[in-house]
Amino acid sequence: MGRWFISPWELRRRGVLGMNARNGAFIARYNPRRNYPLVDDKLQTKALALEAGIAVPELYGVIETQQQIKRLGKLLEGREDFVIKPAHGAGGDGILVITGRMGEGFRRANGKLMDLEGVAHHAANILSGMYSLGGQPDKAMIEYRVQFDPLFEKVSFQGVPDIRTVVYRGYPVMAMVRLPTREADGKANLHQGAVGAGVDMGTGETLRGVWHNRVIDQHPDTGAPISGIPIPDWSRLLRLAAHCYDLTDLGYLGVDVVLDRDQGPLILELNARPGLAIQIANDEGLAHRIAQVDQRLEALDQAEDAEARSRWAQERFARKD
Amino acid sequence: MKRFHLTLLVMALLITSLSVVYYKVTVLGFPLQPAQTVDNWVVEARVAFEPTGGAVTAQLVLPDNPPGYGILDENFISRGYGLTTARRGENREAHWTTRSASGRQVLYYRATVYELNRNGHDDAPYPGPVTVPDYGEPYHSAAMALLDDVRERSADITSFASVLVSELNAPTPSENAALFVQRDASDTDKVATTISLLAGARIPARMVHGITLTDWAREASPVTWLEVHNTREWIPINPHNGTTGYPNNFLLWWHGDTQPLNLERATSPQISFAVTRNIHDAIDVAEQRAQLMDSKLVEFSLFGLPVQTQNMYRVLLMVPVGALIIVLLRNIVGIQTFGTFMPVLIALSFRETQLLGGVVLFTLIVSLGLAIRFYMEHLKLLLVPRLAAVVIVVVMLMAAISILSHNLGIEQGLTLALFPMVILAMTIERMSIVWEEHSPQDAIKQGLGSLAVAAVSYLFMINRQLEHLIFVFPELLLIVLALTLLLGRYTGYRLTELVRFKALGKA
């Protein structure tokens, strides 16, 4: 180690994708702007996924006007736990997770209590566009809180761990598990302080973790080892991710999947500008894998279906030790 | 293909920009340095006479395309006189006429001239060889002998004339030359003699008169000079020693063996020349020059705008430079800022507050605003009213700081009013969201990033040389545009990514 930076030649050799290359060479090229609303509006994503028979967390209700906020109490009647999030949120901002009720109050994922007024204020903030891209007025979604699989229990602090897969032109190329930490306030976003763990594309087993751009082997809150956790149904999960490309036609796509204890993998959201930290978690750059997909597509006469794509990717990008 | 397209576009922008700049610098003489001045001379001919009754006509020769100089501006001060200018022979003349005049009359001609290039000569076409005059004996034989002698000692027309002049001016002239030399001859007579001798060798020569431009010369007397045509151009020759060239700062006024002033029905003519030196802003001179040259390029330029608008554009034209700096710092270095161009606006307000004061005031306002914004979080306000509340608080804070600092005698606090308060309010709002949603470190990091970017763009934007260049040559913005377009296609790593991805290096 010793050095506090890495040379650009070394980065290139490792095939690391930089922000400029991601924006200029891939997002601008393969993600047509008109398709952005499909993923930026989580309501649309949800509808698309349901149409294609892909499982998503159940939608309890949508708040579109300030008037509806007044009826929030009624809307939430009988719901013990739920999630309120902005339909156009970015980077995990504005997501409120309620895990249970306590008399008049709601218990948040971090254990703090919140009264109905607080929940309503949060919804009002969402509607006024505080969390949306560009600040335009937004809608608030109330949906099923994922009962996450005990699989990652030891390596997450509250919140819901999710699995992010980068899908390039329909082929899943890299994946990581995002583990919430105390610092991230139960959220699974790396730049908010969550831990990212690389995933072996072949077996679905977790690799080392990365936290604040540093490599770690144990979860910072629980101390449990991060690597070696097998994700069940890995092939199915990859197929699901590959399928999302068909829904959105975005060539550079991030697919966020959560594992529900009862319902199995659910698509949480799609992202047209997935971050680059996944490369650190996997200790490998994206560029080489992307190049292999490009080669594959050039060699093919006709497009493959999601099943074939994910199978090829699983085999090709398996970790060879 | 796309790459090629961009390259072509960038090349086109660069070439357009540079060629316009080149034209403006070399042909129109726009200065590359700020506050550059050029020498200007105001020359004045004062004509005085006594009318004898009846319609008076005064004819004064005027300088016309004097070699080495350009005339920027000329005017005539002659109340009650009709004025026409006309050419007569090689000279340009002013004709003043009036039906009746009484008492001593004084007329003025005034011209502003600037130096064009030092070694300019009149390149009028060759008038052809002149006929040999008949000098009459014994002069003819002496002239021929003298000319033969000179011809043997010279190589071409110019050196022939030089040798002849020095021969005539020698302290002890040869026998043949002595015949033509009169001890007390005036310059005009000397030159006339030389011209007539040169005609013996069929060389066209002429007499010119001009004045020497020296500062504050109230009574500049005209200097007579000799010119010979070497078949390409008129070569000036010193009639006293035969060396070529005009005297220093010589403004050629008229040609030929004529008086500068001719009068009808007037007596006791008097003419005097005066010179004053004038230092002008180089830009003014270039502008006037462009007008004389009828250059559309300058007519439709920023200099045509009212001064206040010009001063505004001096600032506005620097914004693209600031934007380029932002692009560099964000996409090449990778510094995070609040809002894409917020730092440019902050940098603009730094112009008034100076850097240190600006940074201190900005930090002060944003920190106080943040504190109040966190308090407002408890009030659970809707977004727009909350933003409005932050704007109101920011304005009050600004006023309070100004009053406080004024009372403390720190005048810098007064310039605070120029901070873009809405931008400040938005910054506070964004910063508080990042603070809560991400982490205080992130918020502070981005805040410092914005401040650093603002400071760097400020330093570029106040560079006097840069400001001068952009304002005088706004076409340089095309280069800024070209660079921005090029940077738009940069897909390499950002400097900060070298640190961010360091974990990928060999452990």
**Which chain B residues are closer than 8 Å to A280 by Cβ?**
500-501, 503-504
Q: Tokens in use for A305?
A: 């279906």
pLDDT number for residue A1: 45
Of B494, B498, B503, the CB nearest to A20: B494
**Which chain B residues are closer than 8 Å to A93 by Cβ?**
433, 437
Quick one: which H or E segment has residue A254? Answer: strand A252-260
Kindly report the number of other CB atoms within 10 A of residue B222's CB atom: 19
| Beta-carbon separation of A280 and B382 below 8 A | no
Residue pair A76/A142 in contact (Cβ under 8 Å)? The answer is: yes
**Which chain B residues are closer than 8 Å to A18 by Cβ?**
491-494, 497
**Which chain A residues are closer than 8 Å to B488 by Cβ?**
24
Residue A148 per-residue DSSP state = B
Q: Does A9 touch chain B (CB under 8 A)?
A: no
Q: What is the ipTM of this complex?
A: 0.77
Beta bridge partners of B108: B46, B77
CB pairs under 8 A between A and B: 97
Q: Which of A111, A126, A112 is nearest to A72 (CA)?
A: A126
For residues A238 and B173, the model is more confident at: A238
Rounded CA gap, B408 and A233, in Å?
Answer: 71
pLDDT number for residue B3: 67
Of A93, A121, A130, the CB nearest to B380: A121
Of A3, A25, A192, the CB nearest to B438: A192
Residue pair B470/B321 in contact (Cβ under 8 Å)? The answer is: yes
Mean pLDDT by 10 residues, chain B (507 residues): 80 91 81 71 86 86 84 81 85 87 84 73 79 80 84 86 84 78 79 85 88 75 87 86 84 86 85 78 70 66 71 84 91 85 84 81 88 84 82 86 81 66 81 79 86 90 85 89 90 87 72
Alpha helix ranges (H) inside chain A:
8-13, 19-21, 28-30, 36-40, 42-51, 66-70, 72-75, 116-127, 234-248, 278-282, 287-299, 306-316
**Which chain B residues are closer than 8 Å to A197 by Cβ?**
none
- Chain B: residue whose CA lies nearest to A212: B500
Of B334, B438, B501, the CB nearest to A279: B501
Q: Which of B479, B158, B468, B455 is nearest to B310 (CA)?
A: B468
Of B433, B494, B500, the CB nearest to A130: B433
Rounded CA gap, A68 and A123, in Å?
Answer: 10
- Chain B: residue whose CA lies nearest to A2: B507
Of A20, A66, A280, the CB nearest to B504: A280
Cis before B239 (ω within 30):
no
Which residues make Cβ contacts (< 8 Å) with residue A153, sequence separation at least 6? none
Kindly report the number of other CB atoms within 10 A of residue A201's CB atom: 24
Residue B342 to chain A, least CA–CA distance (Å): 15
Residue range A53-105, pLDDT digits in tens: 888 999 998 998 888 888 888 888 888 889 999 998 876 778 888 888 888 88
Which residues make Cβ contacts (< 8 Å) with residue B356, sequence separation at least 6? none
Q: Does A182 touch chain B (CB under 8 A)?
A: no
**Which chain A residues are closer than 8 Å to B494 by Cβ?**
18-20
| Beta-carbon separation of B503 and A21 below 8 A | no
| Beta-carbon separation of A11 and B497 below 8 A | yes
Which of A3, A9, A20 would best serve as a mutation to test chain B binding (most B beta carbons within 10 A)?
A: A20
Residue A66 to chain B, least CA–CA distance (Å): 10
pTM of the model: 0.66
Q: Which of A224, A76, A88 is nearest to A161 (CA)?
A: A224
| Mean local confidence (pLDDT), A23-51 | 88
Q: How confident is the model at residue A175 (pLDDT cuts 50, 70, 90)?
A: very high
Of A5, A93, A94, the CB nearest to B499: A5
| Beta-carbon separation of B502 and A193 below 8 A | no
Of B491, B498, B502, the CB nearest to A21: B491
Which residues make Cβ contacts (< 8 Å) with residue B432, sequence separation at least 6? B370, B373, B374, B377, B443
Q: How many CA atoms lie within 13 A of A274 on its CB side?
A: 29
> What Cα–Cα distance (Å) separates residue A151 from each residue in A143, A155, A197, B182, B259?
22, 9, 14, 124, 114
- Chain A: residue whose CA lies nearest to B440: A192
Residue A195 to chain B, least CA–CA distance (Å): 14
| Beta-carbon separation of B502 and A3 below 8 A | yes
Residue B468 to chain A, least CA–CA distance (Å): 33
3-state secondary structure of A28: helix
**Which chain A residues are closer than 8 Å to B384 by Cβ?**
128
Quick one: which H or E segment has residue A205? Answer: none
Of B383, B439, B507, the CB nearest to A128: B383
Instruction: Give chain B's contact residues with A (Cβ, < 8 Å).
Output: 331, 334, 380, 382-384, 433, 437-439, 442, 488-494, 497-505, 507
Q: Tokens in use for B329?
A: 């710092």
- Map out the domains of chain A with their CATH numbers: 8-55+148-316 (3.30.470.20), 59-143 (3.30.1490)
Cis before B420 (ω within 30):
no
Q: Is the pLDDT of residue A166 over 90?
A: yes
**Which chain B residues are closer than 8 Å to A66 by Cβ?**
382
Residue located via tokens 């350009």: B70
Strand order of the β-sheet with A264-271 is: A214-216, A206-211, A195-199, A171-179, A162-168, A252-260, A264-271
Residue A98 to chain B, least CA–CA distance (Å): 17
Residue pair B216/B252 in contact (Cβ under 8 Å)? The answer is: no
- Chain A: residue whose CA lies nearest to B506: A1
| Beta-carbon separation of B501 and A6 below 8 A | yes
| Beta-carbon separation of A5 and B503 below 8 A | no
- Chain A: residue whose CA lies nearest to B430: A130
Q: Tokens in use for A225?
A: 């080892």
- Chain B: residue whose CA lies nearest to A210: B503
Residue A92 to chain B, least CA–CA distance (Å): 9
**Which chain A residues are closer than 8 Å to B426 by Cβ?**
none
**Which chain B residues are closer than 8 Å to A8 by Cβ?**
492-493, 498
Rounded CA gap, B357 and B353, in Å?
Answer: 6
Q: Does A94 touch chain B (CB under 8 A)?
A: yes
